Amino acid sequence: MRFDVVSIFPEYLAPLELSLIGKARTDGLLELIVHDLRSYTQDRHRTVDDTPYGGGAGMVMKPEPWAQALGDIAAASPATAAGRKPVLIVPSPAGEVFTQALAYELAEEEHLAFACGRYEGIDERVLEWAQEQYAVRPVSLGDYVLNGGEVAVLAMVEAIGRLIPGVVGNPDSLIEESHSDGLLEYPVYTKPSSWRDRDVPDVLLSGNHGKIAKFRREHQLRRTAARRPDLLDKLDVSNFSKTERNV
Ligand code: ADE
């Protein structure tokens, strides 16, 4: 799978050289290219922003460098070559919310490009124009405002990249984690079995796999009800057993 990231702070993306994503890159499971937006400018000052039409605080990113960068990336895209559109993700607090379901959907794509806006954002015409070559998706990490798209890209590339087969060593870890079934994950424990007067729940030491599964499921439900009741509202309770409905 291929990822391209355009930013005025390419160094911000350096953590994607580390850990599982870094290893997936060296193993050839994913290709990730970071582009400096300023290298697509034409003027001596390498200008990427200007004042907003209509007035107001802050600066807006100019369309020309973005068109140059995104045009080059689309032209080199394996999706374009196959007659399809790569996906252009534009991190923005005004986008659809990034979820595990969206991460799974995007992990099926062959090519994702990310346009990291800074200041007050990118001139809106860039997003309209880019639709000729890309499936454009403004995506938000959540209802809060970051200084730019880079931190959001770090989070999204990690969440999407780890779903690519082979990136996470044990694929079972993807099945039992938070959000994979719409619930938060159950609490986990390791040795020692007793620590600072706190014991690991007996059932986990019992070796009875049926009881362990029941304990974990019950705790998933309790934890989700306590911390994220909104998630329970989205689930079809007809799939729940009678005991589960009463948790
Ligand atoms: N850029 C600024 N705020 C953001 C957010 N919440 N999500 C994604 N990109 C952003």
pLDDT tens string 145-204: 999 999 999 999 999 999 999 999 888 888 878 888 899 999 999 999 999 999 999 999
Rounded distance from Cα 211 to ligand 1 centre (Å): 42
Q: Strands 194-195 and 135-140: what pairing?
A: unpaired
> What predicted TM-score, i.e. pTM, was given to this entire model?
0.94
Residues 6+ apart with CB under 8 A from 153: 5, 7, 13, 89, 91, 114, 116
Q: Is 169 a known ligand-binding residue?
A: no
Rounded distance from Cα 228 to ligand 1 centre (Å): 22
53 touches ligand 1 (CB under 6 Å): no
> Which atom belonging to ligand 1 lies closest to the Cα atom of 91?
9
Backbone angles phi, psi at 87, to 5 degrees: -95, 130
Tens digit of pLDDT for each residue in 191-240? Answer: 999 999 999 999 999 999 999 999 999 999 999 999 999 999 988 877 77
Please state the ipTM of this predicted complex.
0.98
DSSP3 helix / strand / coil % (the chain, rounded to 5):
40, 15, 40
Q: Is 167 a known ligand-binding residue?
A: no
Residues 6+ apart with CB under 8 A from 101: none
102 touches ligand 1 (CB under 6 Å): no
Q: Is 117 a known ligand-binding residue?
A: yes
Rounded distance from Cα 29 to ligand 1 centre (Å): 27
Q: Strands 49-50 and 60-61: what pairing?
A: antiparallel
Domains, the chain, ranges and CATH? 2-161 (3.40.1280.10), 176-246 (1.10.1270.20)
What are the tokens at 204? Answer: 């986990």
CB of 139 closer than 8 Å to CB of 90: yes
Tens digit of pLDDT for each residue in 98-118? Answer: 999 999 999 999 999 999 999
Q: Is 48 a known ligand-binding residue?
A: no
